């Protein structure tokens, strides 16, 4: 199962982590989400047959946590 880690500069607290987890858990194909508040990082495991990385990025942006450009 593919996974990717995003840096999201807008992450500030546990509430942000909860909002991200809730938003991404609602995306079909997302298997697991973990958020490291201190590192401002979001690690996502997903089924690439069900969702693409750009769709995950769009869901992050829609939740208010757009990933930083690499």
pTM for the full predicted model: 0.92
Q: Which SS3 state, helix, strand or coil, does residue 54 take? A: helix
Count other Cβ atoms within 10 Å, centred on residue 24: 21
Split at pLDDT 50, 70, 90, the class of 69 is confident
The pLDDT of 15-26, averaged and rounded, is 97
Q: What is the pLDDT of residue 23?
A: 97
- pLDDT at residue 18 above 80? yes
Mean pLDDT, range 21-33, rounded to an integer: 96
Return the pLDDT at 1: 84
């Amino acid at each position: 199962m593919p996974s990717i880690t995003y840096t999201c500069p807008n992450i500030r607290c546990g509430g942000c982590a909860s909002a991200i987890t809730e938003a991404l858990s609602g995306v079909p194909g997302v298997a697991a989400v973990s958020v490291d508040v201190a590192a401002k990082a979001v690690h996502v495991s997903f089924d690439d047959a069900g969702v693409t990385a750009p769709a995950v990025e769009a869901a992050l942006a829609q939740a208010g946590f757009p990933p930083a450009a690499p």
